[in-house]
Amino acid sequence: MADAKGIDWILGNMKDEIVERGEWHGQPFVTVKPGAIRAVAKAFRDDLGFAMLEDLTAVDYLDRPEVAGRFRVVYHFLCLARRELVRVKTVADGSDPEVPSIAGIYPGADWLEREVYDMFGIRFTDHPDLRRILMAPDWEGFPCRRDYPWQGHIPIHDPMREKDFARGVPGEHKE
């Protein structure tokens, strides 16, 4: 269920910050400039009652030249009291894309921003602990980028598997 009140707030109070506005499968969305995302997130939490950041992810538009800006960071804010969900996006572009962190506003954004950083390479400025969360610390590249090379053998080192193998855990075969 989309929230017109939240979209209307952005349209009324941050007209200069809007990049695009639209609707997808019945849900309106708005894309704002990266510098406005903190103000938008704070207003959604404090003024509009969207107490929960339901999700945060990214999309790589590398193969879509008609879309301005390579990446979109996508936020879904939820108001449980009114059962309303609103989608807000922001653009992240360049060789080292950056977006301001909203972890100080929505603490649940902490690990979600780390996941987006780990998979897409989008840095969240002023994040309290921006480091890899899914891939090994020495992993090179960002697997969810559309230009990530998927050829060749990728060695996986799992120390727990080696311990299970040595102990003879069922399902693991001794050599």
- What are the pLDDT digits (tens) for 94-133? 889 999 999 999 999 999 999 999 999 999 999 999 999 9
pTM: 0.81
| Cβ 75 vs Cβ 52: under 8 Å | no
Taking CA atoms, 73 is separated from 47, 55, 173, in Å, by 22, 11, 44
CA angle 39, 43, 47 (to 5 degrees): 160
The dihedral over CA atoms of 164, 152, 57, 22, expressed in degrees to the nearest 10, equals -150
